[in-house]
Chain A
């Protein structure tokens, strides 16, 4: 516990104090300055404790994957990179990564093609039964993936699709389609329908309106939705786990199987795989953050 207080000390000392911000209320309440009140201290301490633990969780995995032997000491006795090549061979990561990329891109493409037109209609029209339709699209987000994944796996087995790439893609479409719809609808609502009407008045055909007016305006939204689905599908464990076979595993499922069936496998090469997973995820995340602001996103998807 006191390690966290120490960390909080450095964060609060060097970091910005809430009272120095340019916000409207700040000047009126600048009685504390840098001499923070206990509540502020506690807030920073809790956050710092959280981040120290998070860093520890990620750091342990990273250090372990690079260390040669690590038993009862703070750090491994030596450093090596051979766990990565081991993991690459042992878990045939080349094939797993290929499958992951294939699944993710197919899911992104299909969910965009299916869901963007639907979100256009939902954003533009108010019709009887709209509430029912919205409920239909909310349900796959609310029901836990395991709860519908099990009946879905049974159905896929019935149609001999379970274990194949098609099955995995179909399963991952279920949460992705509603996700695209709920991300895209606010984007489309922002586009003034008068622009479309004006284009039509100037004699544009439906196709021209679509390609010259709507597509350029909606492209940022489509990109954002696509990247978010990419991140989600990459990290989607439950559905892929329930429907994948030995040849259609994605990286995260391969990781779970490696941990859970670990007998003679070294933890280091599992950790090397975990680091590869985190690294890819971090890159995807950085790309995603260039396009979307997290708080905005949460406001959008929750309302």
Chain B
């Protein structure tokens, strides 16, 4: 069993209790801190495999804690916050958060996000194939298969899909995708992204209108998820 260690930085005792029970019963080891200062000290003394960070801490802004962590900490950081506006979410992702979940949240959803974040950080640079549910991507041959049937993609579609799939489970912002796939001059051309996402969905989703792989995060970006095992 994996015994990944997760540090919770949240000032609300109720949330910490809920997370502790949820995570421990799913075989994670849990550490806790109730403010920014303790959180940073605990993380430094004993670097966890993952950190769950609240944005509204009593002694410091969560975004600045995130920036301080990212100066040295490379494992996943998941933001768990009541703030649900797009600016906060985008700046948390820009500041290096791997994922963002808004309170109130479903514990099933939280566990899925934790699993995929930990799985992602375990992906090695040298991996040449990515498999997500029925879809497999061969990064060397640059081919995509769904249920072992080849899917023909254009060059741009391939770049977009492989970028999403390499970051499975993680929200990639519109700006990030536009910059990586089309180039820095295109970061405001979100309609390009919409077109290619729609085309990709037609090719890989069973029902393009009810996508199961490429999920929209309204106003923020897209997330590629593999159907739960």
Decide whether A and B are members of one complex.
no
A residues within 8 Å of B by Cβ? none
Interface residues of B (CB under 8 A from A): none
